[in-house]
Amino acid sequence: MTTKDIGPKNPVQKGADATIDFVDERSGVKTGTRWFLFRNIPEGTSWFQTLGFTAMVVFGMQAITGIILAMYYVPDTQGGAYKSIEYITNEVTWGWLVRGMHKWGASVMIIVVFLHMARVFIWGAYKYPRELTWVTGAMLLLLTMFMGLTGYLLVWDQKAYWATVVAVNIFASAPILGPYIGDILRAGPEFGPATLSRFYSIHMLVIPGAIATFIGLHLYFIVRLGISEPPWSKRRLRIERDEEDARRAAAREKAKALPGSVNYPASWPVEAEEATR
């Protein structure tokens, strides 16, 4: 009675295991994934700490819906752009839904990113050692706003067109660099076909690339430094209470040592607090 092979019998599973081991040996994905997923985070992380991840997911949604829109959109100022938007909205199967999601997704992303920033600010989560996480985040906020600005023009309807003319004029009015920025955005001195192509490529190549890069940096910092603990987590409150107790005890000792303070109800504060605990 000899026992031989103790691995799985199923050749498919055997093959899969062998493949994973092969890849892991060379890339370390298994170890890496495990390290990423099973790293410890402080206990009591809150629901407010889900907003960054949500921003990331909404960005992913914008990327997917945006790619689908790009399959039909034509950046043509002679009516082509406008017609292609009409076509997507009225003809393409689910086109109205994809466009609607992309349009609303923009507003949702701005709101989510803003709320995320507010939570980081209120928690003081940008303080040592997370200053650079904040700086990359600030870049992400500006880039997200820029996405909204450049995307608005692509529909090429009156409202978007004139709003964008005004917005670009504002950039162009800045001292020194302004005129150059204006020319770069417009692709020349005037609004025209080249402007639309330029906005299109900025909107779907330049800024998404920059956002993906900064999300990568942002995540690197977050994983490296660890997600911060709520400043009012149970653990923190316990520590603060202990510190407070210690301080009071010390004050009491001091009060006892002072002559003339015999009637001071020395043990009162701590005992009263202990009773309510």
Partner 1 sequence: MKPADKKAYDKDYAQAKKTGKPFFPYAIYKDTIIAGLTVIATIILAITVRAEVGEPVNPATTDFVPRPEWYFYFAFELLKIFKNQDALTPVIMATFMVPNIMIILLVVWPFIDRGPERRIWKRPFALGMTVIVTGLLCYLTWMGANSPAGVASQGLPLSGLDEQATKGMDVYMANGCGSCHMVAGVGAPGPGPDLTNEGAKGWDNAKMIAWFKAPKAPMPSYASLPPEDLENLATFVNGLGTKYK
Give the type of residue at 218.
H
The 4-43 contact track toward partner 1, x by CB under 8 A, reads --------------------------------xxxxxxxx
Out of 8, 32, 148, 265, the residue judged to bind partner 1 by CB under 8 A: 148
Name the minimum Å distance from CB 242 to ligand HEM.
Answer: 24
CB-CB contact of 204 with 75 (8 Å):
no
The 224-263 contact track toward partner 1, x by CB under 8 A, reads --xxxx-xxx-x---x------------------------
Residue 135 binds partner 1, judged by CB under 8 A: yes
List of residues contacting ligand HEM (CB under 6 A)? 49-53, 55-56, 59, 113, 116-117, 120, 125-126, 130, 133-134, 137-138, 140-141, 144, 215, 218, 222, 227-228
# binding residues, partner 1 (CB under 8 A): 89
Q: Bin 12: left if φ > 0, else alpha if -120 < ψ < 50, else beta.
A: alpha
Matching residue, tokens 């752009």: 81
115 CB-side CA count, 13 A: 15
CA 118/CA 55 separation, integer angstroms: 13
Q: Between 84 and 133, whose beta carbon lies closer to ligand HEM?
A: 133
Partner whose binding site includes residue 16, from ligand HEM, partner 1, none (CB under 5 to 8 Å by kind): none
CA 103/CA 162 separation, integer angstroms: 19
Residue 169 binds partner 1, judged by CB under 8 A: yes
Name the minimum Å distance from CB 247 to partner 1.
Answer: 16
Name the minimum Å distance from CB 116 to partner 1.
Answer: 11
Please enumerate, as own/partner, the contacts of 81-88 that have beta carbons within 8 Å and a separation of 24 or more: 81/154, 81/155, 81/156, 81/196, 82/155, 82/156, 82/157, 85/154, 85/155, 85/156, 85/157
Name the minimum Å distance from CB 72 to ligand HEM.
Answer: 26
Burial degree of 33 (CB within 10 A; 0-12, 13-18, 19+)? exposed
